[in-house]
Chains A and B, each alone.
Chain A
Amino acid sequence: MQLSMRRLLDKAFAGTGVVSLVLLGAALLAVLAPIAWRGAGAFVFRATIEHRRLMLAMFSRGNPAEVEAAVARTRAAREPVYKMIADFEAQLAAGDPAQRHKYAKPLRELKARLRDLFGPFPGEPRPVLMRDQYGQTRWDRARVKLHRVLFREEYDYSDPTQWGRKVLRPRQEEFQGTAVEPLFAYLQAHAEEMFEPRWTLYWRFFLDESRDAHFFGGIGAEVLGTFYLALGAMLVAVPVGVAAAVYFTEYAGGHPLVGLLRTFISTLAGVPSIVFGLFGLAFFINTAGVSRSKSVLAGSLTLGLLVLPMIIRATEEALRAVPWTYKEAALSLGAGRGRVVATVLLPAALPGILTGVILALGRAAGETAPIIFTAAVSVGKPLHVWQTLSQPTPALSWNIYNLATEHAAADEIRHVQYGMVLALVLIVLLLNVAAIVLRGRLDRRLRG
């Protein structure tokens, strides 16, 4: 082969490697960027007067006098809209039945869209569902809903060779020449006055309970549930894992049976997480009966089993990394084996073990499949500690799935879903970064 070609191939080889590394970074960015950007939108957004009204009514936050004043201002701004509708209705009631018939359906639709935007009309009875009691609390959602007031979405099937095309038809056309016609121009011109949007930091999104199936409020119950589950898993896995690792490194010796036990443990690490979930259901709930149905306890036990191999491996590595001299020094002072482990090896290995535990905590917090059948429910209150023994809980991971796929209005509450994903990813990544930093320190200490 020519030398120039060999050189080119060599360059191409290195280039392929670098390009794939760049691709990896791009993939990471592509996944994290939308989550971070849209997720931040759950915490920082332009909140409308409806949001402030809701916060005052539900959580008693905000200055009542100020909110009252703002509500009065926005109500005044909305008044002409209602007046136009009322006038038109009165006109129809008094006039020609053919007219009445012609405008019945468009008017009904318009009113429904307006209710979506502003909440119930003044004087209407209070709706049962909370989502119907308030208008749009977020300015971005209000804009979307306003657009739906202004335009009607239709599908055009006139061309039989093509898929139906989406067409936007201004509603104004439907009400040409009526008392309602100026309404649309008014809405467009005075949208901000009717909502008074204001940039708001809603950090309590993390802690607030959700209201009306996540239409309003935050993700407090889910965060707490994830916390319980992950912590419970650690309570199960850490003592067992550390003890097993101590046995393997300090007591087992080179017996062939020990190799078999190790193989078993690495197999446990390779079991698909959904199988753990099924096992948790079949054993912890149906056979052992730790609780009558799903509970945090059953979920924690299942997750504990899932992270057990991680803990064992991390602890073994940490124990092996302790310099041999530490142990010899302790033994030469006359300490027994148990004492060496308890007072010398474990303290020296503690940072390493802690790193493993932090990583396992992140893993347990992020897992979904094992808790589907053992611990998770879609809607629930935050639990007290003693309730964890018998009650299921909402959890971030499960509720992300549930809200994104099974919620009746998944499109309406994208911001909540993104907020949840961001919360979960942040929790897991912060734990991981903590572990990486801790390990970096550790490396330096053991090296120096």
Chain B
Amino acid sequence: MGVATVSSSPTSPSGGHLKRPGEVELLLRKGALVRRRLVILVGHGVLLAVAAASAAAILFVFYSIARDAVPFFRVRGFAEFFTGTRWYPSAHPPAFGAVPLFVGSALVTLGASLVALPLGVAVAVCLSDVIPFAVRQWAKPMLEILAAIPSVAYGFFALVVLAPLLQERGGPMLALAAWLVGAPLAALGVYVAGSSLVMRLPARWRPWVRPLVFALLAVGAVLGLAYISGRLKMVIVSSGTNALNVSIILGIMALPTVASVSEDALRATGREIREASYALGATRAETMVRAVIPAAASGICAAVMLGIMRVLGETMVVWMASGNAAQIPSPWYNLLAPVRTVTATIAGDMGEADHMTGSERYHVLFALALLLLTIAFVLNLLSEWALRRARRGGH
């Protein structure tokens, strides 16, 4: 009680008429005042120090990784690491060409993006504008659970469930997937293309040309799909642990990130833009595609970058299920080839390089980590910038 009086009195202008006997004494206890000031100052200082330290941690991580990466570049230079295509760190003489690893990471990231981006954005649109609130309350925790499952559990699933499945019935599964994805798309495409074709014809031809055009297009689409799925069915998956397997799983893992960040961005655009568009007579699809999604574009970009970051930095799934072959697939887009990513290399090789601190094998892993860290840093800055833009655009 006394302390409170002391601290408030000097600053409070109304303290004068509340003076009671005894307060003067309290005010005069300078020692207490000084001590209190000191406590505040120290507390403030400690908080500042802790905050600054936790922010500086990233710099320190950078420094630590870079310090162990530099010896590698000093001895071997940059050329081999960034352009070499042979990765044989334990051979004599060793080869440290990291291009196969970069290609592996890029291929897996590309494959996962093909899964996660369309699906993620579609889910985000669905969550923000399509489904009713009650359903949304159920769908959101689903995303959170998907994001919470540990990566090693995904890796185990990829290795023990998905890989044997792909290896034994890879071709038929791919064909089925082609039909499942292709059929609705083809139906839609046929309708749109047919209608717009028919629209260009003179009005008196339309009634009898229309069924003809539609039938032709439909037959063409079915034949095309049958051809594609037939080709896919013939595909022999020689090993279930390959880039395709990993891409699917990583896509599922990145999905929650992409979906929830995009959804936030879509919501942040606000009601006015939607209402304006509806008032002009646009349908929901037109509103979303022409007005809301462009307005939320920078937020969705941020979501994409965060998703890519998640995929690029993921270790356990790729380590367990990518096949770990440090070679460039031929052709480069061959998702059925086993690949080896940067992260899996760090995880896998450090076990062997563990006790050889100071060897090139040890330091080259830090060089890889430094590269990874730099990419993550740049992507993060970009996504941060995009998010800030999105926030400013939303208001």
Contacts and interface: CB of A to CB of B under 8 A. Distances in A.
B55 A272 contact: no
Interface residues of A, number: 93
Contacts of A276: 61
A287 B64 contact: yes
Given A12-B188, A279-B64, A428-B150, 16 more contacts: A12-B184, A13-B288, A15-B184, A17-B123, A17-B125, A28-B142, A240-B50, A244-B47, A251-B44, A270-B306, A274-B346, A366-B151, A367-B150, A367-B151, A405-B159, A436-B144
B380 interface: yes
B57 A268 contact: yes
B126 interface: yes
Given A24-B143, A244-B51, A405-B320, A282 B64 contact: yes
Interface string B242-255: 00000000001001
Nearest to B7: A336
B369 A17 contact: no
Interface of B: 4-5, 7-8, 39-40, 43-44, 46-48, 50-61, 64-65, 67-68, 118-119, 122-123, 125-127, 130-131, 139, 141-146, 148-157, 159-161, 184, 188, 191-192, 195, 199, 252, 255, 259, 283-286, 288-289, 306, 309, 312-316, 319-320, 343, 346-347, 350-351, 354, 357, 365-366, 369, 372-373, 376-377, 379-381, 384
B195 A279 contact: no
B256 to A, nearest CB: 9
Nearest to B46: A243
Given A2-B199, A282-B64, A268 B58 contact: yes
Contacts of B60: 283
B119 A17 contact: no
A401 B347 CA distance: 12
B131 A401 contact: no
Contact of A275 (B40, B151, B369): B369
A25 interface: yes
B150 A424 contact: yes
A375 interface: no
A35 interface: yes
Contacts of A10: 283-286
A272 B195 contact: no
Given A267-B377, A268-B57, A272-B313, A282 B366 contact: yes
Given A35-B157, A263-B381, A274 B315 contact: yes
A5 B192 contact: yes
B151 A271 contact: no
A8 B152 contact: no
15 contacts: A13-B285, A21-B139, A24-B123, A240-B50, A244-B47, A244-B50, A264-B55, A267-B377, A272-B343, A279-B61, A282-B68, A368-B151, A369-B347, A421-B152, A428-B148
A408 interface: no
A312 B54 contact: yes
A14 B155 CA distance: 33
Interface in A289-318: 305, 308, 312
A18 B180 CA distance: 15
A311 to B, nearest CB: 9
A338 B40 contact: yes
B312 A425 contact: no
Contact of A7 (B127, B151, B283): B283
Nearest to A2: B195
A192 B64 CA distance: 61
Contacts of B283: 6-7, 9-10
A331 B119 CA distance: 49
Contacts of B125: 17
A34 B157 contact: yes
Which are the 9 A-B pairs with shortest beta-carbon distances?
A: A272-B313, A366-B150, A17-B126, A13-B285, A261-B55, A20-B122, A247-B51, A247-B47, A10-B283
A372 interface: yes
Interface string A352-368: 00000001001101111
B40 A283 contact: no
A27 B126 CA distance: 17
Given A13-B288, A246-B47, A404 B159 contact: yes
Which residue of A18, A25, A278, A424 has the most chain B CB atoms within 10 A of its CB atom? A278
Contacts of B143: 24
A9 B285 contact: yes
B91 to A, nearest CB: 23
A274 B47 contact: no
Interface in A25-67: 25, 27-28, 31-32, 34-35
Contacts of A210: none
A260 B350 CA distance: 33
B64 A27 contact: no
A35 B283 CA distance: 43
Contacts of B130: 14, 17-18
Among A13, A25, A363, residue most surrounded by chain B Cβ atoms (within 10 Å): A13
A37 to B, nearest CB: 11
Contacts of A248: 51
Given A261-B51, A401-B320, A24 B255 contact: yes
Given A5-B195, A271-B61, A305-B57, A251 B7 contact: no
